[in-house]
Amino acid sequence: MKSMEKIVSLCKRRGFLFQSSEIYGGIQGFWDYGPLGVELKRNVKEAWWQDMIAGHNELVAPNDAPGTFEMVGLDCTIIMHPQVWKCSGHFDLFHDHMVDCRESKKRYRFDQIRGRWVEYQDKKIFVATMAEQEQEFDEVRRRGMKYFKLRSKDAEKLSVEDLSITIDKLDDTTQVLAPDAKTLDTLTEPREYNLMFKTTVGALGGEDDYTFLRPETAQGIFVNFKNVLDSSRVSLPFGIGQIGKSFRNEITPRNFTFRSREFEQMEIEFFCPPDQSHAWYGYWRDRRLAWYKSLGLSDESLIMREHHKDELAHYSVGTADIEYAFPFLPEGEYGELEGIAHRGDFDLRSHMEGKLDPKTEPMTVELGENGKPKYRGSGKDLSYRDEATNEKYVPHVIEPSAGADRGVLAFLCEAYTEDEAPDENGNMQTRVVMKLHPRLAPIKAAIFPLVKKDGMPEVAQAIYGTLKKQFNVFYDEKGAVGRRYRRQDEAGTPFCITVDTQTMTDQTVTIRDRDTLEQSRVKIDDLTEVLTRRINV
């Protein structure tokens, strides 16, 4: 199993990711992308945009699609009218269940506190921890020994169960030793905690000026549905894509960038006739899973998990999660990478009529104590009229919602590899290599002169200048060429181009493949074409 500790270390050492505000001790749940990380994240987003939006051919039905469809894009604001979040359900329903520790005064998300049962002399307690998975067993044992006042020589008298579970799976918490507590039964009953960041618009900052940083990008698409329909001449079925920042006030952000307070989403809202929605739901599920595999995530690391009826959001007709076996999770467990939701007509109807009541079936507008809509909708007609049949209806929506940051993290985890490669003297040495797909790799190629003489640097610099116009490439002439190779392997660079003695006579260079270590000779004039072909495999 891959070590999350090594991956995190490499990310900082090589400039993929840094803790935000690190010189001031950092701020939990916020991360900065370094020189390599920003390129990797841009490449993930650009691959998504090209494959889902810009490169889509609306004249031809893709394989396994129910038919042809159109795709367009949007870029909506982070701050929106506060009524958007009331009608969408976020104001009332967007929450996690939290527990407080009466002893330590700390707050935790109920379903994130893990632990194990510990037993000593017929006394059994549940030791909870927020430690990473790799340190969990040792941390539980250490705290169990401390609770029972055992010395190191008595460690074998303490029994720690192998099974790790979250405390929301327990029947009661009276025997739980909370993560930062010294006594049992210090956790409160779980209660709801709204995850939206509140802010104010305008100078006065009164009650009427409150609004929120968006917790998702989807609502900006829904409130612009009519604008897109009227301005773009699109017809159903069609999708609207958006990439943008979202904010959630997570109480216990953890597991590196997996759960952050500021993150970026890549979302599609796909509008279709109600009677076609189940077919389109199946299409988008399969297509999104195939996309991750096409960019290097392995079959063994990915699963598609359909939500049980009890898990479904109030608006959802059906939801499936694409999940990845992140190294920080116990073996056999998976974390959400992307959700594909069949949202029905909930969102468009809510913004037309007012917030719908999830307790009603079919859903009707939720009423307040005065018998009027609790949160009034826009009153705008967001239905669609089919010009061919003259039928009018509220479209159903399929939503593939991906996290750009979680995608980057998954690609980093998948890419991290340790193997052996020869050094400059031909001796086999352990190397760390990031086997990123060439489309995603931050640096596409590195250009080396074999030595800093005999005109080789000048030729290498000329090649660098030519390739730099189309690719993000790197020039390096410092150190033995074997060390330069290994530096690029750690950065995930798929190809290294070396100018050597033969170059000076026949205008060819060697291209070394990062993964196979094979080297082949290519004419300098053919480099752009060769790189383009190899990157877009």
Annotation-wise, does 122 bind a ligand? no
Annotation-wise, does 353 bind a ligand? no
Residues listed for the chain: 537
Annotation-wise, does 258 bind a ligand? yes
* Measured distance CA(450)–CA(113) in Å, rounded: 54
Annotation-wise, does 9 bind a ligand? no
Annotation-wise, does 107 bind a ligand? no
Annotation-wise, does 248 bind a ligand? yes
Count each helix (H run) and each strand (E run) in the chain, helices first.
14, 28
Annotation-wise, does 151 bind a ligand? no
Under 8 Å between Cβ of 49 and 56: no
Query: DSSP letters of 313-376?
Result: -TT-SEEEEEEE--TTSPTT--EEEEEEEEEETHHHHHHHHB-B-TTSSS--BPB-TTSSBSSB
Q: Provide the b/e sequence for 255-291 (b: ≥16 CB within 10 Å).
A: bbbbbbbbbbbbbbbbbbbeebbbebbbbbbbbbbeb
Q: What is the DSSP letter of 388?
A: T
Annotation-wise, does 424 bind a ligand? no
Annotation-wise, does 514 bind a ligand? no
Annotation-wise, does 287 bind a ligand? no
* Measured distance CA(497)–CA(512) in Å, rounded: 7
Under 8 Å between Cβ of 98 and 113: no
Annotation-wise, does 446 bind a ligand? no
Annotation-wise, does 263 bind a ligand? yes
Q: How far is CA 335 from CA 36, 266, 391, 412, 522, in A?
A: 25, 17, 42, 15, 43
Annotation-wise, does 189 bind a ligand? no
Whether omega before 373 lies within 30 degrees of 0, making that bond cis, reads no
Helix 527-535 and helix 456-467, axial crossing angle in degrees, nearest 10: 50
Annotation-wise, does 264 bind a ligand? yes
* Measured distance CA(432)–CA(451) in Å, rounded: 25
Burial of 165 (0-12, 13-18, 19+ CB in 10 A): middle
490: its two tokens: 């750690």
Annotation-wise, does 267 bind a ligand? yes
Annotation-wise, does 5 bind a ligand? no
Annotation-wise, does 195 bind a ligand? no
Annotation-wise, does 335 bind a ligand? no
Closest among 461, 454, 465, 462 to 501, alpha carbons compared:
454
Phi, psi angles (nearest 5°) of residue 526: -100, 0
Annotation-wise, does 42 bind a ligand? no
Annotation-wise, does 262 bind a ligand? yes
Does an H or E element contain 49, and which? helix 35-49
Annotation-wise, does 462 bind a ligand? no
Bridge partner residues of 416 (DSSP):
434
Under 8 Å between Cβ of 436 and 445: no
Annotation-wise, does 276 bind a ligand? no
Annotation-wise, does 39 bind a ligand? no
Annotated binding site for substrate: 109, 216, 263-267, 399-403
Annotated binding site for ATP: 248-250, 258-263, 336-337, 403-406
Annotated binding site: 109, 216, 248-250, 258-267, 336-337, 399-406
